[in-house]
Amino acid sequence: MASKVRGWLHYPTGIFIRDYLLEHGEAYPQEMWRALKERRKSLGVAYGSVRSFHLNYIYVLKKLGLIQPVRRERINPKWFPRTYYRIVQGMENSPLWSAPQIALDPRRGKPSIRRKYARERKKRLVVAPPITPEELDRIWSTASAFLKEKGYVISRADFETVKPEWPSEAGLYATFEERVGYAIRHAAGIAYVSRLARRLTSVEEVPEPFKSEALKLGRILEREWLRRKH
């Protein structure tokens, strides 16, 4: 069995997933993400979203042949089934676990690429003044009316339960119309998957192809709204 790695500085996410699967045998993605989140929180280290975890690790580890699905479990007839993964036999000690994204695409490890990404990200990080409660009310009222017109109904309370960070994220957009478009995009996706699941849920929690359908729907409605306003 592969030896476990201890200590944050030498404990990349890929290694954490490997060690978690070595200990538990099999697990579903959200279970592993929650364990990682608790570990990061205990260390005072930032962690990404469950969607980021899926895209940057579960998808990549499958592509590299490090993990494989073993079974699906439906714990509630109203919910989407969980897909459980385990380590592919013989890959426990593979060096690919330590940096799976670079293993899949070596360009991501080049210093020049990292520096370029950091410069571009710095340009995008504009500190905007907070949106006033009155404008938030106006944004949501406008977005909600548009969504209702399209047949997608979601309350503000439900939207903020799933997307509590929306006021700060919407504030990164320059105009009122773009901020409404942001709310439409995310609220439409949540309304769509919640209707399918018959319970309030986030887009990140649902499996493919429903996740992609929800994201596509949100983008389509956002574009339609912005075209209407220009």
Question: How many structural domains comprise the chain?
Answer: 2
**Are 137 and 90 part of one and the same domain?**
no
116 located within any domain:
no
Q: Assign 193 to helix, strand or coil.
A: helix
The angle, 0 to 180 degrees and rounded to 10, between the axes of the packed helices 29-43 and 13-24 is 120
Across 73-82, 93-102, 110-119, 215-224, least confident range:
110-119
180 located within any domain:
yes
124 located within any domain:
no
32 located within any domain:
yes
114 located within any domain:
no
**Are 12 and 97 part of one and the same domain?**
yes
* pLDDT one-digit tens code per residue, 178-218: 999 999 999 999 999 999 888 998 888 888 888 889 999 99
CATH number at residue 51: 1.10.10.10
126 located within any domain:
no
2 located within any domain:
no
**Are 152 and 218 part of one and the same domain?**
yes
Contact 150, 156 (CB under 8 A): no
Distance CA 64, CA 104 (A): 7
This model's pTM is above 0.75: no
* pLDDT one-digit tens code per residue, 103-147: 887 776 566 655 665 666 665 555 556 788 999 999 999 999 999
Count of beta carbons in the 10 Å neighbourhood of residue 183: 27
In angstroms, the Cα distances linking 22 to 67, 88, 93 are 11, 11, 11
The whole domain housing 157 covers: 133-228
